[in-house]
Structure 1
Amino acid sequence: MSGKPKLHYTNGRGKMESIRWLLAAAGVEFEEEFIETKEDLEKLRNDGVLMFQQVPMVEIDGMKMVQTRAILSYIAAKYNLYGKDLKERAWIDMYVEGTTDLMGMIMYLPFQPADTKEKNLALIIERATTRYFPVYEKALKDHGHDYLVGNKLSWADIHLLEAILMAEECKPDILSAFPLLQAFKGRTSNIPTIKKFLQPGSQRKPPTDEKFVAIVRKIFNI
């Protein structure tokens, strides 16, 4: 056993991508065992390692962890990315829930019917620029720090950068009205562990395309 966390998921972004981001930002090397067929998924289910018969699943510290939020919370706490006290954790949780909502909209866009994609893309851009990004812009302005909580890199910052980059794939100039978020993106992208993860050849996955959608539909029978 290598001791590295082992990630069980498809070879694409989905709900595992934020887990990859968090581990990479923490400087933790991890292995991946890809689910490539329906049979691969059924084997995990039959082996009894999926508590709710679902992935993502991460083997870490002798546990077979499921449920994305539980996995992320554990990793954030383990690697000191979850604030110094309960109040800071509450702020991190609120910020993370916001970026989770936005990224969820983007994540499911490729799986939606072609005739609704344009409308849903417009909704994503509208929500990003009027509901979500203004909150983070204001937070950075109000406290004048480099990071969202406690002037220290946290899970909230890592999640926000991931959300920003996903939103820019939808609309490259989506941050045009948010100068502090533009600066935040530049700062956090240059943190050495994150910069490494953003380089070609890392374990970061590309945007979801039609080929991957077809694979996912087949594996999960959707």
Structure 2
Amino acid sequence: MFFKVLTRLWLTAAALMTSQYVIAGPMGFNDSYMAMGDFNNHWRESFINYAITPRDALGVGATYMRADDKTKTRTLEEVIYTRLLQRWNLPHAQANVWFIGGVGALQAEDKQEGVHHDVSKVMITPGIQFDYETTRVYFAATHRFYRASDINHDFTSARAGFSFYETDYDKTQPWLIVEARNMNGLSDKVEVTPMLRLINKNFFVEAGVNNAREPRFNFMYIF
């Protein structure tokens, strides 16, 4: 229920709010809100945070995870803290290192050989993200620990892309983004997804199809 309500709230906010900036990182500028979502058949993540300082943000998130063979399902609702650890403002680029960590309630469901187990546990999710961006190229690498008692679903992701051409600030800019990611204990495969990203001012949307022929949709909005 929490996941559905939170997702609807963020989608509504993304449709109504306005602001000045869009960045690649997991938080916006001071006193701003950031809403993000990432959705496909086996992974659905949404969160919203508020930048309490230029380097710190607090928020809440909801994540749905499912194994490739559909024998394991995880639902996580967490409180998330984001910290900008380091920033390099280069002449024509910016690079950042972020800490992203959360703690929350995990609902785990396992179905194997006719046996059905449901458990509730506390999960912690500390991680690090590095990103580098110019107006024409983008790269990011993320690793987050998803740990609970007897559960390890550590998440690793790398994404890179380029814009097709330069645009003015108030015009939409198209990008091609390719991401490779994996979640330990839920998939033995590396999911690879090429996506079209459209950026305009304070938001972006991404859509694509992964190497398992499953659709994927992402969004980010700062307000």
TM-score (norm 2): 0.30
Compare relative contact order (CA 8 Å, sep 6+) and give the higher one, 1 or 2: 1
TM-score (norm 1): 0.30
Higher helix share: 1
Higher strand share: 2
